Amino acid sequence: MPKAKMAAGQRILRDRITPSVTAEGEVPMPGSRGSVSGPSRIRQATKERRVVGRPQVMEKDPVHNRAENLSLALEALRQALGEEWATDSPSILCGYARDQGMQPAAYAHIVCMPGSTEDVQAVYRVANEYLIDIMPYGTGLSTVGAHFPMYGGLMMDLRRMDRIIELDGEDMFAVIQPGINFLMLQAAAQQVGCRLLNPSTAATAGVISNHLFCNINTMSSKYGFGMDNIIDVEVVLPTGEIVVTGPASYGAVKGHVAGPGPDVSTLWRYALGTLGTVTAMTVRLYPEAPFHAQVFPCYEEDRLDVVADALYLVAQDNLSLELAHLMNSFYGIFMGETNAEASKLAELMPRHNLLTIFGGETEEEAELKASVTQRSLEEHFPMMDYLPAEALLDLTEDNEYVDFEKWVKFFNVTCRVMRVRGSFFIGALIDKIENMAPVEKGMRVACTNQVGTTDDPLAPDDASTYLQPYHMGRSAYLEYDMYTNQADKDDLIRIMMGYGRATGGAMAKGMVFAAGLTALIKGIPGAELALSVARPNIIPLLKVFTEFKMALDPNNISNRRWDYDTGAVKKISLF
């Protein structure tokens, strides 16, 4: 075809699919002298940079988050916080709409970033005036969509509040704001000879939000979970009022014993923003031992009952600074930087491993604690083996992607997690250690029946089991993680159903889900009825939570989930 004809044909085609626009922004109708009323829908949407498919109205006939009030609230927030600290730009909102988990995107209407407690008060005042829902946002590290707003509204990003207000190495405490993550606080604590309770999560996780949501850590056998180590809190209530608890409420020195009188600091455990926003917290620190020693007990057979008994023995002796049971898959996931590396490490490690780390003021003290524990295990569990440090060093030297020094630091100093498959379902259950082996075995059977299996070292049904003794083994935490690729629909649904079968079966055998579900289950159709049968003692707890919520949040703006009028949620969320 001649070039002139080709160019003419391209021009005609372009004119057909790209209508011209008049000076007034109107698009002439093809074949007519008139024009449509208004600019091109596509051009207008492009100009406004709309995110395709992003819902603007999240519920039928909304009373909260109405369009006319959202624009007024945005202007008020800009006046209160500064022009640059509040926006409704879709390109920014979409950055808050997803996390590492498998939940569908959930969009706020506005994002703001307060820089102080007074700013947070101002945000709540604006939200109450215009009936805009608020969802507090710590550092944003979540795998379950815990910070997703159900009905849109206002996402309150607290990362500007990133000060360590006070750090005391002698009395061993730190006063922090919500933007402080574990890496920041651990590095500061080490400068004064201390450390904090590091959970099995990323170093960028927020300390405040993680402590309020339990904080399971490898020092739990000796010092308890993170939520047991909260000294006091400063909270902005949904009304904009400030509540200070614990020693800070009456000007006392930051002691480690609550009193006099009752302490309500624990009220905000698992509240997930439903009862306001914690703007400051005092957490306990612990001495950093100058010297460490490790013992690596392991067991090749897939007998969790043997390992659970050994774990209980070490917990009762209370000599170890850190103590946990880890399956081989956990080592791969923590240390491998790719799926292939994780699979290789899982294949190299024994099936069951005890992580035992001992501290001392001298090297001799640390080594003595380690040797006493090993002798006790050898006496009571002769079937167990012990990996010499040299063997682990050889293993890491043979595989260049693992560094032994980094390995030790991951399990002793820093937060440690590497989720290589994309996402995971975390099974978090509490019971007595002796009950966990038979229940976990039943979970695996249910999971394989639902998911199927492969010959891969990290098979899809082979959940990573992690046993963590709590308070010298009086009870224990069982983590049962199932990994999935959230971009693969078939894999996601298959793992979700396997996780549901396994976790539901465990709870039917008496295990308790290790997270406060009260704020999440209130109003879900059938949930309260089912729980009243399975857990009768949760009914008075739900009643108290409901009364607290309605008293502290009269306009129901702080992480609104259920309606006060009906007592029911309008939509189902995966978390």
Predicted pLDDT of residue 347: 83
Do the first three CATH levels of 164-287 and 291-513 match, i.e. the same topology?
no
Which of 500, 404, 420, 496 has the alpha carbon at shortest distance from 458?
420
For the chain, the domains span 67-157, 164-287, 291-513, 525-575
Task: Reply yes or no on domain 164-287 having CATH 3.30.465.10.
Answer: yes
DSSP-derived pairing of the beta strands 423-431 and 512-513: antiparallel
Q: Which CATH class is domain 67-157?
A: alpha beta
DSSP 218-254: TTHHHH--GGGGEEEEEEE-TTS-EEE-GGGGGT---
**Torsion angle (degrees, nearest 10) of CA 169, 172, 173, 179:** 60
CA distances to 57, 279, 294, 305, 436 from 325, rounded to whole Å, are: 47, 35, 14, 12, 12
**How far out from the chain centre does Cα 402 lie?**
26
Sequence-separated (6 or more) residues with CB below 8 Å from residue 144: 99, 101, 103, 426, 574, 575
CA distances to 65, 112, 158, 230, 280 from 213, rounded to whole Å, are: 28, 23, 17, 12, 15
Q: At what angle do helices 304-317 and 363-380 cross, to 10 degrees?
A: 140
SS3 178: coil
DSSP-derived pairing of the beta strands 286-287 and 194-195: antiparallel
Whether the ω angle into residue 260 lies within 30 degrees of 0, i.e. cis, is yes
Burial of residue 264, with CB atoms counted within 10 A of its CB: 0-12 exposed, 13-18 middle, 19 or more buried: middle
Per-residue pLDDT of the chain (575 residues; tens, 9 = 90+): 554 444 444 443 344 334 444 444 444 444 444 444 566 776 666 666 555 567 889 899 999 999 999 999 999 999 999 999 999 998 899 889 887 777 788 899 999 999 999 999 999 999 999 999 999 999 887 777 788 899 999 999 999 999 999 999 999 999 999 999 998 999 999 999 999 988 877 778 899 999 998 888 888 889 988 888 999 999 999 999 999 998 888 888 776 666 667 788 888 888 889 999 999 999 999 998 999 898 989 999 989 899 999 999 999 999 999 999 988 887 777 666 677 777 877 888 889 999 898 999 999 999 999 999 999 999 999 999 998 777 666 665 555 545 556 655 655 555 444 455 666 777 777 888 888 888 888 888 998 999 999 888 778 888 888 888 888 888 888 888 888 877 788 888 888 888 888 888 887 787 777 666 667 777 777 776 776 666 677 778 888 888 999 999 999 999 999 899 988 888 877 66
- Length of the chain in residues, anyone? 575
Which helix (H) or strand (E) covers residue 182, if one does? helix 182-191
Ramachandran area for residue 526 (φ above 0: left; ψ -120 to 50: alpha; else beta): left
SS3 31: coil
The tokens describing 549, both together, are 């919520």
DSSP-derived pairing of the beta strands 352-360 and 291-295: antiparallel
Ramachandran area for residue 46 (φ above 0: left; ψ -120 to 50: alpha; else beta): alpha
Q: Distance between CA atoms of 524 and 573, rounded to whole angstroms? A: 9
The tokens describing 134, both together, are 């608020």
Q: Distance between CA atoms of 412 and 407, rounded to whole angstroms? A: 9
SS3 93: helix
316-330 burial by CB neighbour count: b if 16+ within 10 A, else e?
Answer: ebebbbbbbbbbbbb
Sequence-separated (6 or more) residues with CB below 8 Å from residue 41: none
Assess contact for 533 and 454: CB atoms under 8 A.
Answer: no
The residue type found at 226 is G
SS3 157: strand
Ramachandran area for residue 567 (φ above 0: left; ψ -120 to 50: alpha; else beta): left
Phi and psi at residue 162, to the nearest 5°: -120, 40
Q: Distance between CA atoms of 575 and 564, rounded to whole angstroms? A: 20
CA distances to 297, 386, 409, 468 from 371, rounded to whole Å, are: 12, 12, 21, 22
Q: Which CATH class is domain 291-513?
A: alpha beta
Beta bridge partners, 283, equal 174, 230
- Rg of the chain on CA atoms, in Å: 27
Which of 249, 248, 282 has the alpha carbon at shortest distance from 164?
282
Predicted pLDDT of residue 516: 62
Angle ∠(63,69,70) on CA atoms, nearest 5:
105
Residue 364's CB is within 10 A of a number of other CB atoms, namely 11
Q: Distance between CA atoms of 158 and 166, rounded to whole angstroms? A: 18
